[in-house]
Amino acid sequence: MSSTPTTSTPTTSTPTASTPTTSAPTTSAPTASAPAVHLRGLRRVFGTRAVLDGIDLDIARGEFLALLGASGTGKTTLLRILGALDRADQGTVLVPPSRTVVFQEPRLIPSKRVLGNVTVGLPRGAATRETGRRALAEVGLADHADAWPGTLSGGEAQRAALARALVREPELLLLDEPFAALDALTRLRMQDLVGELCRKHRPAVLLVTHDVDEAIRLADRVAVLRDGVLVRDETVTVERPREAADPDFAALRRRLLADLGVHQDSAPRHSAARHSAPQHAASQHAN
């Protein structure tokens, strides 16, 4: 978890290539103390629309950043660029070589057992199997190593995907709405699990979410993407354990919802559930 970030350029999908060939000002070579993620002037254009229009962002090693934004604002695009699944058109992108991604759906290989899914792509052998079993135990799936993915519940499958991401001990963990498809109770449990495992393994984390409460509960920092730029990038100072009843929690939630175009005073009064599942409010009002 200590290697130096390398540079992803608009011309390559391998972020281990090292020379920025962007039109952004040249970035000096990163040092061991540099942040895990360093973005300057990042642009991504689809057709005539600059979905990302000059993103400046650092994520420190071991830091957990939650990224909010209405649907279609470019959150996944940003995450995909960090994961070398898409390219930047302009700007400087420094990311560590070891990154893993968890998506909204688990994307397990149906023809491989759970343990095989977790260790897929790793060197074969007893040591890898043992590492895979430990990762499964961490997510509470020790008894499911030999199960087929098709027999898992949605929450179990997503935990298997999390184990697959963590077993590689990534320096950067990219989470794209990983709890969105889960029921409310499972989602809360998964949030706790991810928080616990990230504190233990200490990757830098980018969590893309629509759920404002989830962002506040989990993140060291929250950012909001709107119109191609980050309109907020704020350290979360709410004391842990973070409770929605805490006035600091509520105040930050109000600020974030306002950034998303949701104004609580004008929201329907019956929406007590909004506070436990605010992604619905955010997506209803901000999409």
Ligand X SMILES: Nc1ncnc2c1ncn2[C@@H]1O[C@H](COP(=O)(O)OP(=O)(O)OP(=O)(O)O)[C@@H](O)[C@H]1O
List interacting residues with ligand X (CB under 6 A).
46, 51, 69, 71-77
279 binds, among ligand X, Mg ion, none (CB under 5 to 8 A by kind): none
| Buried residues in 219-240 as b, exposed as e (16+ CB within 10 A) | bbbbbbbbebebebeeebebee
Shortest approach of ligand X to residue 208 CB, angstroms? 7
Cβ-closest position to Mg ion: 76
Shortest approach of ligand X to residue 225 CB, angstroms? 7
Shortest approach of Mg ion to residue 69 CB, angstroms? 9
SS3 227: coil
133 binds, among ligand X, Mg ion, none (CB under 5 to 8 A by kind): none
Shortest approach of ligand X to residue 223 CB, angstroms? 13
Q: Give the list of residues 6+ apart from residue 28 with CB closer than 8 angstroms, or none.
A: none
Q: Which residue has the tokens 């759906």?
A: 105
C-beta of 86 vs 246, nearer to Mg ion: 86
| Residues 24-83 contacting Mg ion, CB under 5 A | 76
**One-character DSSP codes across 98-163:** -EEEE-SS----TTS-HHHHHTTTSPPSHHHHHHHHHHHHHTT-GGGTTS-GGGS-HHHHHHHHHH
7 binds, among Mg ion, ligand X, none (CB under 5 to 8 A by kind): none
Q: Quick check: 279 binds Mg ion (CB under 5 A)?
A: no
Q: Which residues bind Mg ion (CB under 5 A)?
A: 76
